[in-house]
Amino acid sequence: MSPHTIAAVHVVVHHHPRHRAPPPRHCSGGGVCVVRASAATATTTSGASATAATDSPSAAFWDYNLLFRSQRAESPDPVALRVTEGAIPPDFPAGTYYLAGPGMFTDDHGSTVHPLDGHGYLRAFHFGGGGADGAAAAQYSARYVETAAKREEQGAGGTSWRFTHRGPFSVLQGGARVGNVKVMKNVANTSVLRWGGRVLCLWEGGEPYELDPRTLETLGPFDILGLGSGAGEAPARDSEAAARHRRRRPWVQEAGIDVAACLLRPVLSGVFSMPVRRLLAHYKIDHKRNRLLMVACNAEDMLLPRSNFTFYEFDAGFALVQKREFVLPDHLMIHDWAFTDNHYVLLGNRIKLDIPGSLLALTGTHPMIAALAVDPSRQSTPVYLLPRSPEAEAGGRDWSVPVEAPTQTWSMHVANAFEERDAGRGGGTSVRIHMSGCSYRWFHFHRMFGYDWHNKKLDPSFMNVAKGRELLPRLVQVSIDLDKRGACRGCSVRRLSDQWTRPADFPAINPAFANRRNRFIYAGAPSGSRKFLPYFPFDSVVKLDVSDGSARLWTAVGRKFVGEPVFVPTTGGREDDGYVLLVEYAVSDHRCHLVVLDARKIGERNAVVAKLEVPKHLTFPMGFHGFWADE
């Protein structure tokens, strides 16, 4: 039996009809409204029959794997995009949509890596601004991020690839495994940022790489934390909460952790080439203060029951204006986070050291990430509200003690967070966090995206597990009420919409409403129309109205999937005045389209205002996170 046949059988075994969500119905008022496509591509009976004919285990398997097919070609010279539907609207602003993600998964010597270890491939869609005739020009370019690992693994001449770095999530089949300490493979593939005239591609475990905003040429590593020369590093100021934490633990235990940290640091940095501080790929922008916020943690935190987080705030010229350091008594893994006017917010994902997995990882037969496992020992979720402002730190609360949210949720991505003064009940503050999260029972480090190093293919059954939709990523609101001294009066977790119960992730909002009360959230979601790919990849964008819980949906037609939505605001005064950009992947045609949706018309027939076709020879694999930069 071939590898793809085995994986297709897995899809059938894991799927059961009772777990399939029926497609949402059309509606004229509130509730869930769905549109399969714009009027030009609306679903017909024959189209539905054709979709059903291709909805098989084999088609599902290959459709999924085609989303992650390597693209070796680059387009350093911008190419014009053909508008295949509609027109670029006159009020569409001039700017560039940057999309980060992996581009290379398979080398020429038998190795296939996890998508998270694929070499960074930056895509750029440049708009000159909408014209009066709606026919403004749009151009596309794409280049690999020239990281040190990429230069080594591509080799001289750039004609062949040989993976030499294991990467944290992968197992090499055609390269050295046993004794291979090339683990920290900075691929700069996770997110992209344009700030202070610079374009940075970020990865979860190393320094960013800077690229030219126009040509996408890699300029080199950007030492944003000043760890190389010492420049830019303000003196570390341990918060009062961190000092209290050190007094809470028995001094013998705390001393033991200090000794372990001292022993681990030279091993991790000297042998495994890990940076002293691991910069997280997710950043935040405080539009009120025009600041860029970033966070880093210590390399040894991955292996110890203590977490060190350092928050940095930069002005528009990348000058460091604030640095705060916190030590938390938890073994945590943080991917995304939030902030408010007075707090940094960490939703803690509890992890633990997996000794058997560590031994397998050292043999090279399992990825290095197998050394870690989720820790479901508690049924709550720790939410750390760390003081960002002097006002927050002046309260009487011990900030090293988390608020325990009453449900166990693995935090994935944050849409927004804000706080508001509570005039009733003697004053206080209400903190709201809008985010996506999943069950600890579903999350699995080295199986994410269905990575199967034995068969060198991706198995879609893991991302479409049929144990229950409640395990999969979902959109929730975490509400925390604090009294005037900062003590927690209550914490609750609820779905953002009772009318939207299917999975969803990659939430986005109008960036002008970041850090203040927002009404609308846009997220990637499944329509449920694919029997053998019911949950992922996403084929829809759902627009949630937080004020009344209603949901409106736009869905692609047939064998097409979509990536993360990004909101592009216009000059209107309403929150949903603007457009939603997303890439549509037509795997059956092996083509990518950039879709422009009218944010106000999602759920209506004419939601699509334009589709722009990427030349077929430049079709790219699924991306991760993007950024819209106004000119």
Q: Binding-site residues, please?
A: 335, 413, 625
Nearest-Å Rg of the Cα atoms of the chain is: 24
Cis link prior to 621 (omega < 30° from 0)? no
d(Cα 174, Cα 588) in Å, to the nearest integer? 30
d(Cα 623, Cα 98) in Å, to the nearest integer? 10
363: region left, alpha or beta (phi > 0 left; psi from -120 to 50 alpha) = alpha
- Say if strands 32-35 and 550-555 run parallel, antiparallel, or are unpaired: parallel
Q: Do residues 622 and 101 touch, judged by C-beta distance below 8 A?
A: yes
What are 333's strand-pairing partners?
A: 349
Cα–Cα distances (Å) from 257 to 273, 301, 569, in that order, read 22, 10, 48
Q: Do residues 464 and 528 touch, judged by C-beta distance below 8 A?
A: no
Beta strand ranges found along 89-222 (DSSP E): 95-99, 102-104, 119-127, 138-144, 191-195, 198-202, 209-211, 218-221
CA angle 234, 236, 238 (to 5 degrees): 145
d(Cα 249, Cα 329) in Å, to the nearest integer? 8
Running DSSP on this structure, what letter comes out for residue 106? B
What are 411's strand-pairing partners?
A: 437
Q: Considering only CA atoms, which of 329, 328, 334, 369 is closest in space to residue 348?
A: 334
Burial letters 223-238, b for 16+ CB under 10 A, else e: ebbebeeeebeeeeee
Q: Which residue ranges are tagged as binding site for Fe cation?
A: 335, 413, 625
91: region left, alpha or beta (phi > 0 left; psi from -120 to 50 alpha) = alpha
Q: How many CA atoms lie within 13 A of 4 on its CB side?
A: 11
Q: Which two tokens stand for residue 238?
A: 């341990």
Alpha helices in 407-563 (DSSP H): none
Q: Which residues contact 145 (CB under 8 A, 6 or more apart)?
A: 119, 120, 121, 122, 187, 188, 189, 201, 209, 211, 218
